Structure 1
Amino acid sequence: MSPIATTDVEHPLAAAKPAVKTNGAVASQAVTDNQSKGIYTIPDTVLGQRRRVKIVFIGFGLTGIDFAYKAKSCPDLDFQIYEKNPAAGGTWFENTYPGCACDVPIAIYQYSWNLKTNWEKYYATQAHICEYLQQTAEDHDLNRFVKYNHEVMACDFLDDKGRWRVTIMPNNDPTKIFAEEVDFLINGSGILNNWTWPDIPGFHDFQGEKTHSGYYDSKLDVKGKRVGVIGLGSSAIQTVAAIAPEVGSMVLFHRTPTWIVPHLATKFADPNGKDMHYTPELKERFAKDPVDYLEYVKSVERELSGLFKVYIKGSPEMVMVNEVCESSAMTKAADVLEMARKSMLDRLGDRQDIIDAMVPVDFPVGCRRPTPGTGFLEALQQPNVKLASGWITCADSTGLIRDTGEHVELDVIICCTGFVTTFRPRFPLNVRGENLSPKIGVSDRPTYMGLATPGVPNYFVSMGPYAPYVQGSASKTVEFANNYFLQVIQKFQTDFIKEIVPKWDAAQDFKDHADTWIQRGVWRESCRSWFKGGDANGTPAIWPGSRAHSLRSIETPRFEDYDITYIHGNRFAYMGNGFEKSELDGSDSTWYYARPDGTNRLPNWEFPAVV
């Protein structure tokens, strides 16, 4: 419940019974000697006692803030969060490109333990989300657990100790690099922060201004200039809509079409693709009645998560949508996603050139992650905006050359080409003489439930391969993942575990199930998407089920899926010296007689005084 200190803090039981040791090592020298001789010695601990454990958590964005909030109340747990940026927010701190906003309703993209009732719009902007995250950290005193401007450079597993040595560089200064030894390592850095330039021959010969949506130059002025935007993901769609009114001219370079959907959960938003502002009256109502606001949040969540069925081949929901798309007729039954194709056709009107370039004909809605694209289709119809479909063959000092041979002269290039989404850690992950980072996320390597990797002990990752990326908002997913991590860590403490790692066969079984199940959905169709590693025919690394399915599946750890090594060699050593901790720490040792009010006070009944 505190940042990592240089000295160990003694367990409260030590005061009641000096023989009880809780300093991480736990075992006495005699125990260690006996273990080396193959002799089992009962540790002088009590049942329920937690050994003090140290953790390094990487990243202080959506996941890290939630982890800190929960971990600070866990007993005998020291943790330190390292964040490479100068402030909290993660991807919402880094991504500041024009128009950057959440593409799921903000009501369900927030912490369930810190619901904000006065959001400005249905889809919150980057600035508002970053402000919310930073204010949450401030309000709950979480910054004390964080070292900002500290980047994790390498992690080495010390096999003899069952611990990680984490190497950190502060303030981008190689002369100040230091190392920390910890029991557990959790990677919450995410995958939407490692941006990369496009692989275009001659790209860096371009003499104009260039920037990337993942590291946008805030000083860039596009007013009246010839601007090229590369890409057609969420960042490109939002950027184009935001800057179209300012630029002199703009060319959007893209290779494949994509689905631009109306607002999600349309029962609560504008069905015509416009963003909705919360009225003062509605914000006041939410603020005055938290129960009413929770009902609203749950209603938006239910509406949005219910759309998942449309992605399952042959489902009644998909059949309804396809029938409506083919007939171009609106029916109440086909309310799911507002029939993306008909919506796009309606909004594009008579612009057949844009329709031919933008509306997919060979893959269904959901094969790529759909985006609401507020104002995007309208921007494409402006006279100063042009679409350039196909490949960019190369660049030169003045612009980009298309596969048609056309040379497009530009003043500015904005790359919305995404991030390195291989799921590989940005740092070496060295285990038993091998750097496993390049192998994590590889299509033929098993992974365990988007949370852990076989062969990498005492290590968890939030939103790893096969996490529920297409099932809805990430906020609930990271909350449940952190709950899962802390349950495992509690067992790690009370059972005196040295190493815990997913079994290879469990990870392989999960991957086999997920890869087989995915055949039921639209994601296996031929389209390029980041969760398929950019390979149109790749295997999607997404969760094999719905939103509720994913959360329920990780609600409680399946410890039978883990290989566990114990500090004392004997799995029952946690039973200790034969006493339970309530018998020594002054709490109610008759806890098994539960009071109706749930309190844990000491019993104090006495006979009435005799007069």
Structure 2
Amino acid sequence: MVSDGRRRVRIAVIGAGFGGIGTAIRLRQHGEHDFVVFDRGDEVGGTWRDNSYPGCACDVPSHMYSLSFAPNPDWTRSFSAQPEIWAYLRRCVDSFGVRPHLRLGHEVLAARWDSGSTSWLIDTSHGGYRAEVLVAAGGPLSEPAVPALPGLADFTGEVFHSARWRHDLDLTGRTVAVVGTGASAVQFVPEIAPVVGRLHLFQRTAPWVMPRADRPISAGERRLFQRVPAARRLARAGVYWGREVAATAFLRPALMRAAEQVARRHLRRSVTDPVLRRRLTPGYRMGCKRVLLSNDYYPALTRDNVEVVAGGVERVTPDGVVATDGTVRRVDTIIFGTGFHVTDVPIAGRITGRHGRTLAETWSGSMRAYQGTGVTGFPNLFLLLGPNTGLGHTSVVFMIECQITYLLGMLRHLGRSGIRAIEPTPQAQDAFAARVDRRMAGTVWSRGGCRSWYLDATGRNSTLWPGYTWSYWLRTRRFDPEAYRPVPGPEPLPVSGAGIGAGAGRPEATTSSEEH
């Protein structure tokens, strides 16, 4: 305890999803035990705890959508469903002994850098903490985005977002408006269409939908993965490099034409009505928006009780929804599949740096961070899946592992040098952002002819990494102290003699060879 009553820890982690759990495991493996992981939920899992809508599953193959240092030979399908991924994360917590470090039900209300003590003062729903290092691992898919539609507050029926699914509400026979046609809707619409009385799907922009090559993983295959780890590593490597090859089309948009032909053929085979087919045909280059995978989405839209409404929603009435063309659908339930606050993450408004400005104020509508992890003016703050580290072609878990390796290198540097606090130099941060913007200019996300959720309020793509993931791995496999500067504060600490500060392990060793 300290004089102000705050509990003292060396490292505080916000979020207990893949990022927070992976960080906790790696910290323990490298001899660090003075840390806590905050999460507002009553269990771990993050996105995979909160998104439990019918049909929820991952669109990255299972063996790649898992931590390389916590392999799972028992995946039952090539693309895992939400219950299995959530169970995997809970199992990781218990298998690696990190549950004592969890502070569940602890919502982080504010975190402020205190220059006098060179530490983060953290206010949670269960009291205050003081930490030397703050790791923000809340993830970009944690806060549902509900559009501010006129009249929504006066709607007399049921309203919810897909990430807050109402499992207590029986949809049988109900008249439902689904707003949004993104990755969540493409999964839950086929599940609820046979149950509801009538479904009106409001589609502002038609998505590109590719066939989903999903299949059960046989018991024999699972036994092989259990008994021969090399087979599991080979399967993971095959997925990884296959996805890296696919990234080429995102970086050179003309190459997307071949994939578009596959998607168009998938649409023709699934939808015979030419009018509906035209309505479902995208008018932009594939990859500009997120590419969706489904075998049952298009067939669900051909049902007699399903209508695809081209265009968005103009407003809501007490008993219905008004489309942008002025037509009205009377409904008793509205389900939003409208995604998340990605470029305006709410936690940014709760973290205040050494100049008294929040992250949100500092970013002014467009997120920037050196390596997607550190921000000038925010000492000892480390972001997981921060600006420009999202992906459009493969597993973000890979990026998380790269960043955890980089974090461990930073902690080792602090321990060895005796420096209390560091932050990226403005020059390093600006140069990184400029490089990202230059590389982004030629990609499908910039030249694909659409307006996607990857773009922030300024029109900049501050979400995705504009390259191959191996190039990000190269940038983060070792911590680069020359890109950082010490932050003024009390006298330097004595050089650590234990744990990460003592240099337990090399930075590059924190990323398993299974990643590649």
The C-alpha deviation readout for 1:37-81, integer Å capped at 9, x for no partner, is xxxxxxxxxxxxxxx970111111111111111111334651111
1:541 to 447, 451, 463: 463
**In the TM superposition, what are the counterparts of 1:581-600 in structure 2 within 5 Å?**
none
1:203 and 2:152 matched: yes
Note closer, same or farther for the CA distance 1:75–1:114 as it changes in structure 2 (3 Å cut): closer
Aligned residue in 2 for 1:98? 54
Note the C-alpha offset of 1:374: 3.4
Aligned to 1:22: none
Cα distance in 1 for residues equivalent to 2:495 and 2:326: 75
Say whether 1:397 aligns with 2:318: yes
Q: In structure 2, what is the equivalent of residue 155 of structure 1? A: 111
The corresponding residue for 1:111 is 67
Partners of 2:40 and 2:106 within 8 A in 1: yes
Q: Which residue of 2 aligns with 1:497?
A: 419
Give, in whole Å, the separation in 2 of the partners of 1:405 and 1:546. 45
Structure 1 residue 431 displacement after superposition = 2.4
Q: Distance in 2 between matches of 1:281 and 1:77?
A: 39
Written as runs of structure 1 = structure 2, the 5 A alignment for 1:151-300 is 151-170=107-126, 178-263=127-212, 270=213, 275-300=214-239
Deviations 1:86-132 (A, max 9, x none): 00101101111111111111111011112112212111111111011
Is the 2:388–2:463 contact (alpha carbons within 8 Å) kept by the matching residues of 1? yes
Q: Is the 8 A contact 1:440 1:453 kept in 2?
A: no
Checking the alignment, whether the CA contact within 8 Å between 1:528 and 1:534 is kept in structure 2 is no
2:395 counterpart letter in structure 1: S
Deviations 1:408-449 (A, max 9, x none): 011211111111112545252222452323235545564212
One-letter amino acid matched to 1:472: T
Distance in 2, Cα, partners of 1:230 & 1:538: 25
Q: Post-superposition, which runs of at least 4 consecutive aligned residues in structure 1 deviate over 6 A?
A: 566-570, 573-576
* Conserved 8 A contact 2:353-2:359: no
Give the distance between the partners of 2:461 and 2:17, measured in 1 at CA. 28
Matched, 1:374 2:330: no
- Deviations 1:578-602, CA, capped at 9 Å, x for gaps: xx99xxx9xxxxxxxxxxxxxxxxx
Are the counterparts in 2 of residues 428 and 435 from structure 1 also a CA contact under 8 Å? no
Does the 8 Å contact 1:54/1:78 carry over to 2? Answer: yes
Q: Secondary structure at the match of 1:549?
A: helix
Q: In the aligned structure 1, how far is the partner of 2:161 from the partner of 2:365? A: 28
How far 1:538 moved relative to its partner? Answer: 4.0
Residue 134 (structure 1) aligned with residue 102 (structure 2): no
Task: Please list the CA deviations of residues 493-542 of structure 1 after superposition, one character each: whole Å capped at 9, or x if unmatched.
Answer: 1211122001111111111111111111110033132221378x543532
Check if 1:407 corresponds to 2:328: yes
Partner of 2:244: 305
- Is contact 2:343–2:456 with CA below 8 Å preserved after alignment? yes
Q: How far apart are 1:341 and its partner, in Å?
A: 2.7
1:446-497 alpha-carbon deviations (Å, 9 max, x no partner): 4212111111111011001110322410212111111111110111112111
**Structure 2 residue 402 is matched with structure 1 residue 453:** no
The 8 Å contact of residues 424 and 437 in structure 1, kept in 2 or not, is answered as no
Local SS of the residue matching 2:100: helix
Normalising by structure 2, we get a TM-score of 0.90
Q: Where does the alignment leave 5 or more consecutive residues of structure 1 unmatched?
A: 1-5, 8-51, 171-177, 264-269, 325-335, 586-611
Could you give the per-residue CA deviations for residues 381-402 of structure 1, whole angstroms, max 9, x where no partner exists? 1111110011211111111011
Match of 2:392 among 467, 470, 482: 470
Aligned to 1:71: 27
Give the AA of the match of 1:557: F
Cα distance, 1:117–1:313 mapped onto 2, change above 3 Å: same
Note if 1:509 corresponds to 2:437: no
CA spacing shift, 1:433–1:558, aligned 2, 3 Å: closer
Please name the residue that 2:440 is paired with: 518
Which whole-Å CA distance do the structure 2 matches of 1:560 and 1:67 have between them?
24
Q: CA RMSD in A?
A: 2.4
Q: How does 1:349-364 map to 2 (within 5 A)?
A: 350-361=272-283, 363-364=284-285
| CA displacement, residues 337-374 of structure 1 (integer Å, 9 cap, x when unaligned) | 773233323332x222222222212x211111111023
1:7-42 deviation per Cα after TM superposition (whole angstroms, max 9, x unaligned): 9xxxxxxxxxxxxxxxxxxxxxxxxxxxxxxxxxxx
1:484 is the counterpart of 2:406: yes
Residue 527 of structure 1 is matched in structure 2 by: 450
Match of 1:124 in 2: 80
Alignment-mate amino acid for residue 403 of structure 1: T
Paired residues, number: 492
The percentage of counterpart residues that share the same residue type is: 26
Amino acid at match of 1:258: P
Measured after TM superposition, the shift of residue 214 of structure 1 is 1.5
Secondary structure of 1:234's aligned partner: coil
State the alpha-carbon separation in 2 of the partners of residues 203 and 122 from structure 1: 40
> 2:65 touches 2:397 (CA, 8 Å); kept in 1?
yes
